[in-house]
Amino acid sequence: MKICLAQLNYTIGDFEQNTLKISDAIQEAKKSGADLVLFSELAVCGYMPDDLLDYDWFVEKCESSLEAVAQSCQGIAAVVGGVMRNPGKGRSLQNVACFMQNGKISHVICKTLLPTYDIFNEARYFEPADHTEIIEYKNVKLGIAICEDFWDIYNDFEYKESPVQRLKNAGAELILHPSASPFHLGKAAVRDQVFAGNISRFSLPVCYVNQVGVHTDLIFDGDSQALNAAGDTIAELPYFQEKMVYVEYADGDLKGNKIEPFFPEYISTLHDAIVFGIREYFSKMGFKTAILGSSGGIDSAVVQALATEALGAENVFPVLMPSEFSSEGSITDAELLSGNLGNKTNIISIADTYHSLVQSLSESFQDKPFDVTEENLQARIRGILLMALSNKFGHILLNTSNKSEMAVGYSTLYGDMCGGLSPLGDVYKMKVYALANYINRNGEIIPQQIIDKAPSAELRPGQKDSDSLPEYSLLDEILNLFIEERRGRDEIKSLGYEPAVVDRVIQLVNRNEYKRYQSPPILRVSGKAFGSGRRIPLVAKYG
C-alpha cells in the first residue's frame, strides 16, 4: 500500500480553499499511484476554530466540506480531519478523522483525549470517543490516533486510558496519526521522544502528518514523519513548508531506508519561525505593508530585519522619532540599518509635540518633578504617530517589545506596547542578541554598534535599562525559571539566586499582568508564551 503524507497549510474557516487544496492533493496523489492520503487534524476547517464552533453555519460548512472532499476519493482513500455533530449525549460536537473511499465517508473516527492545558481547550467544544474502531483497507488493519491520542503519557500528567493501546489490542497493524501540533523551540526533541516511546511500547509503524501555517499566535511547523516498527525514521517532511511525500507499507511494516531525524539548530529555527510567522500572519489577514518605530536599539533592529525578510524591503516602513534625549548615534545607527535593508525611512521629531504636551499639562501636574510620567508621555507620542501613519496608509504596526520587557512591565501601555503583531513578545532579550548575530551571519546587516551598545529606552538623560532592571542575562534566567519552568520563588532562591532579586523580579511579573492582557498577539515560539497559553487572574492576591 502506497501512502501519501500531505503536509498542507490551511486557513481557519476558509472552507472553499481548504477543500480545494485537499481535493487537489488527493488527485495528485492518485496520479502518483498512492492508495491512501493522510491529512492533518481539522484539515477542512483549520486548527483551532475556537468559538467559531458555536455557530451552526460553521459546523454545517465543515460537514458539507468533508462530504465534498469524499467525492474526490474515487480509486483512492483519504483520512481527512474535521468537525461533526455528536449523535449521542454530551458536548454537541466531535473532533473527527473521516476515512473516505468510493466517493463517500465510510468511517468516522472520533478523538478520545481532548487536551485542556496551555493553549488547548478542546473539551470546551468536543465530546470524546466512546469506542475503538479498526479500519481494514487493502488487507491492512489501520488504527487512527488523532493528535493527543498519541500523547497519553507525554505531558505533565498521564491520561487514564491509552487510545493507542486500545488500537493495538483491537489488532491495528499501522497507526495513522493526523495532528495539529504547534511549534515551539525544542518541539523536535519532544516529538522524537513521543515517537520513540510509543513505538517501543507498541511495536507499530506510524505515519504522522502535521499542518504548517500560522493561526493567530500559533505557528505550525509541519515536520511530518513516517517511522517503521523498529523506530527508524524513513521519511521526514520539511519545516514551515507544504510538501507531499510517499511511503510504502508492505509485509507488516513501512518500507524505506533509515534517515537521521532532523533536529534544527536553535537560533536558525527561531529565526525561520518568526519570519514564517510574520509572513503567514500578514498573508492570511490580507495585510501587505508594515510600519514600526526604529529607535536604533537592538529590539527594533531585529524586528525590522525579520519583517524585511518576511515581507520585502519595499513593504517595511521604519519611522525614526527622536526626542531631545535621543543620542546622535541612535539616529545614525537606525539610518544605517535601513540603508542596509533597503527600507525607506521616515524621520519625525517628537520634541515639539512633547514640549507642547508638557506645557499643556504643567498646571495639572502641580509643579511635580520629572518622573516616569514624562518618560511614558514620549512613548505614547510615538505610539500616536505610528498609529496615525498606520491609519493613513494601511500599514500594520509591528510591536518591538521583547519577552523580558513584557514580563516585568518595562513598557508603556498605549505607547511602545501598541501594535497589530508582536514578533519578539516570546523572545527573551539575550535571545534577541543571538538573533541579531544570526541575521549578520553572512555580513553586517544590523550595525555592530547597535548590538554592542548598552540597552536604553532613551527617555531621560543617560538612561540605561540596567538602572531599573537586573542585567538581562540574570533577569532572563529567573524569568525562564518562573514562567517556562513554573518554579516558585523559594525554589528559585534555593538554586542560588539572590533572594531580593528574585522577589523583585517575581513581583514585577505579577503586578504587570494587566499590561500583558492588553498586548498585541504574540507569536508563540516557547513552551509557555504570554497570551492564550498563560492565563493568570488580573484581580487576585498572590506572589
Q: 525: closest CA among 323, 299, 267? A: 267
Q: Of the listed 21, 30, 111, 284, which one is catalytic? A: 111
Please answer whether residues 176 and 219 qualify as being in contact, where contact means their C-beta atoms are separated by less than 8 angstroms: no
Q: 321: closest CA among 302, 297, 293, 342? A: 293
Please answer whether residues 417 and 399 qualify as being in contact, where contact means their C-beta atoms are separated by less than 8 angstroms: yes
Q: How far apart are the first and last CA of the chain?
A: 58
Q: 265: closest CA among 434, 444, 474, 430? A: 434
Q: How far apart are CA 401 and CA 423, in angstroms?
A: 8
Please answer whether residues 318 and 338 qualify as being in contact, where contact means their C-beta atoms are separated by less than 8 angstroms: yes
Cell of 521: 498577539
Any catalytic annotation for residue 41? yes
Q: 104: closest CA among 83, 144, 74? A: 74
Cell of 10: 490551511
Q: Strands of 225-227's sheet, edge to edge?
A: 135-137, 140-144, 174-178, 206-209, 225-227, 233-236
For every residue of 10-56, DSSP letters joined together read --TT-HHHHHHHHHHHHHHHHHTT-SEEE--TTTTT-S--GGGGGSH
57 Ramachandran zone, left/alpha/beta (phi>0; psi -120 to 50): alpha
The residue whose grid cell reads 468536543 is: 126
Tally the residues of the chain. 543
Q: Of the listed 4, 30, 41, 236, which one is catalytic? A: 41
Any catalytic annotation for residue 485? no
Cell of 409: 512591565
Q: Of the listed 45, 62, 73, 147, which one is catalytic? A: 147
* Helices of type H across 442-496: 448-452, 472-479, 489-494
Please answer whether residues 205 and 234 qualify as being in contact, where contact means their C-beta atoms are separated by less than 8 angstroms: no
HSE-up of residue 244 (Cα within 13 Å, Cβ side): 21
Please answer whether residues 478 and 501 qualify as being in contact, where contact means their C-beta atoms are separated by less than 8 angstroms: yes
Residues with active-site annotation: 41, 111, 147
